[in-house]
Copies of this chain bind each other. A is one copy, B any other.
Amino acid sequence: VDSRRSFVSDNHAGAHESVIRALAQANTGDATSYGDDAWTEGASAALQTAFGARGGVFFVFTGTAANILGLSLLLRPYEAVICPDSAHLHVDECGAIERVLGGKLLTVATPDGKLTPSLIAPSLVDRGDQHRIQARVVAISQATERGTCYTLDELKVLGEFCRGEGLLLYVDGARLANAAAHLGCTLADLAAQADVLSFGGTKNGAIGAEAVVVMDEDRVTAAPFLRKQQTQLASKMRYLSAQFLGLLEDDLWLHNARQANAMARRLADGIRDVPGVELRQAVEANMVFATMHPAHIARLQDLWRFYLWDPAAHLVRLMTAFDTTEADVDAFIDGIRLTAEHG
């Protein structure tokens, strides 16, 4: 089993060798600590340009940290975040927003992990009522935790709605690269409506590096202090920055994301006609959601590793990574077909 590709998560994958190489190349004796070094300057400048960000770029170690830092730049103490109830920051961060920021989340059920103005609107009642936390930030994930992506049009509609309502837009971009690959657009396109975004490296070939991108220079003053306070200031920051340099070189980040996305599509296409298998979300990033017969799932789990997303619904999540190969996928498809046939 061990030698079989894991389809559990893109964080089961290792790092791209170019990232490791970039790390090693940054290991050249002394460099000023805390980000005052050439690697950080280079990676920050490149990302600022790519996003069209007038504010700045701040590297942190984890996706949870990026969400915390990003939201802390946007929220006042009596303001809340509207997010899908599937949002990583609600479900998978062990209450970090509440504990570290003291922030409240107003969650919204969605069919596909995506917010729309009409889904957001009910959370906007009672503005100005002192008893009620005041909705201020809309937090979306791009790509979503359901493997879907907001189109540029959807983003534009959302951005206009937010500006009209005095709301700010935060984008959890742990898989922003996958969205860029799917939409065939630039990072600047994805950032056009946002106030702050994260840009994930970890799930896309880094060993552990995320960037917080601040679009507006008015919102950037607090960022260095809050990053430190939130335990995320790397003393030897060059080793965070170098990971991004590795990902940026020759658009490795985009190639990695394209590969992961293509493998998810290949997997989806390969199993959609398997009896008893039903795809449950559009496959627009690097994950496939499908329902299967429970006996099928059980047999499959003897041989392959993947995530039983919702046991009650017999819903599985099959995730690919930058280094998933066609052979990996085809073997998995065969496995799924074979176990299905023996049901």
Contacts and interface: CB of A to CB of B under 8 A. Distances in A.
Interface of A: 5-6, 8-9, 11-15, 17, 20, 23-24, 26-34, 60-65, 68, 72, 76-78, 80, 91-96, 98-100, 102-104, 107, 130-134, 202-203, 207-208, 222, 224-236, 239-240, 323
A182 B240 CA distance: 31
A130 B94 contact: yes
B231 A62 contact: yes
Given A62-B231, A100-B100, 12 more contacts: A34-B130, A62-B233, A65-B231, A93-B131, A95-B133, A98-B102, A98-B103, A99-B100, A202-B236, A203-B235, A207-B239, A208-B234
B226 A77 contact: yes
Given A100-B230, A102-B98, A231-B230, A11 B33 contact: yes
27 contacts: A13-B30, A14-B26, A14-B28, A14-B30, A14-B31, A15-B239, A27-B207, A61-B62, A61-B234, A62-B231, A65-B231, A78-B95, A78-B226, A92-B132, A94-B130, A94-B131, A95-B104, A96-B228, A96-B229, A99-B103, A99-B230, A100-B100, A202-B236, A207-B236, A208-B239, A230-B231, A231-B231
